[in-house]
Chains A and B, each alone.
Chain A
């Protein structure tokens, strides 16, 4: 049976979808069968970031309603044969979801894949609650700023009270990803440091991602940044995917990047 991981944040625009896409690709490249599911019904974006927008024929809602089979709706990515994608419906809205249908879909996916990654919608409404309902684990994506932290805190609170696992008396294991770290601003004290964020949220850190303008281009092109070996953000996602697959990888200090002569020299040619 596979593991269901929900990617949540509370606040919108912090990098949930980018994280889902990159972590999904990373896990698939680690030779694990992985499916990424876009739960943001009515506002799907994950297909674009994965570069699969022109291959979407059937969506998740059609599968849940029994109109098409799961195998038909799953899209195999060209990046890795291990990676599949299930699109959200762009025409329906969140009210079509219900717990029974979601449980059946998730159980079907768990039977076929090692990792099932769910991209949650922003906010804490029913769409979010349905995403976390059957999750075994959760990745919480935050930006180092107070509003993102508070919204994430609220989202964790709901996760800890409304997920099925908690109702059964177990715990949903949580991982924290701090996205868009700007080392200069952290050093000057304008941005919250990782220690502060960990103090507030009190969940284990799985990785820090530096701010990287290459991500925007990567998203526009539909090529997840993790495939760009030169990008620091891409390398950070690679390490995170490795950690999620159970590999021991040392934490890199992205807040204090190396500042040797060679590094400065490289910086001049950027």
Chain B
């Protein structure tokens, strides 16, 4: 017998009407591509076809033993998950990020942790084991192998397969990042990733 344990992220959805469901998933289906979507309530053929078309994994009326408190899950059912942190952010961003920019050409080595309130332009690598926590905007022109926690309006990164990147408490999957710089930003409560500088070679 061959077994492999993989961790699965689960999104619980309680169905009320089809339109709400479609508007929510039209905006956010990219985020949930690696998730298992568990539908509660009465499922119907329309919703199942929609999920199949988007290539999302789903189950109907399954119960899981949840490690997370139910409160948080309820919040996710009704709102997009990104709305939660957003409430606290704006005051920090307003007066700090727009006035200061820090430029660093320093390797962030394993075990080093940068805690930054302003914006940061980093012209060097973040090595495995290094960490950046930032409340402003972030641009890194080299590869990242450590972890990034960014709560700014946007960040720009290259494809970084070994990195752990979290933007507004949502993990950014490397498969949406291209080799060149990508702009990751929060627009209308959803995270959009767009490649930038298509013609410019930064190499």
Contacts and interface: CB of A to CB of B under 8 A. Distances in A.
B163 to A, nearest CB: 13
Interface string B121-139: 0001101110000000000
B136 to A, nearest CB: 24
Contact of A200 (B111, B112, B125): B125
Nearest to A151: B110
Interface string A185-211: 000000000000001101000000000
B75 interface: no
Contacts, number: 32
| Range class of the A interface residue count | 10 to 19
Contacts of B197: none
Interface stretch (A23-31, A59-67, A153-161, A250-258): A153-161
A150 interface: yes
Interface residues of B, number: 11
A154 B108 CA distance: 10
A159 B167 CA distance: 31
A199 B142 CA distance: 11
B82 interface: no
Nearest to A152: B110
Interface string B80-121: 000000000000000000000000000101111000000000
A146 interface: yes
B86 to A, nearest CB: 34
Contacts of B109: 153-154, 156-157, 160
Interface string A140-180: 00000010011101101110100000000000000000000
Interface string B151-165: 000000000000000
Given A153-B128, A154-B129, A202 B107 contact: yes
A213 to B, nearest CB: 31
Contacts of B125: 199-200, 202
Contacts of A151: 110
Contacts of B112: 157
27 contacts: A146-B128, A149-B128, A150-B110, A150-B127, A150-B128, A150-B129, A151-B110, A153-B109, A153-B110, A153-B111, A153-B127, A153-B128, A153-B129, A154-B109, A154-B111, A154-B129, A156-B109, A157-B109, A157-B110, A157-B112, A158-B111, A160-B109, A199-B125, A200-B125, A200-B145, A202-B107, A202-B125
Interface of A: 146, 149-151, 153-154, 156-158, 160, 199-200, 202
The 9 closest A-B pairs by CB, nearest first: A157-B109, A153-B110, A154-B110, A154-B111, A153-B109, A150-B110, A153-B127, A157-B112, A202-B107
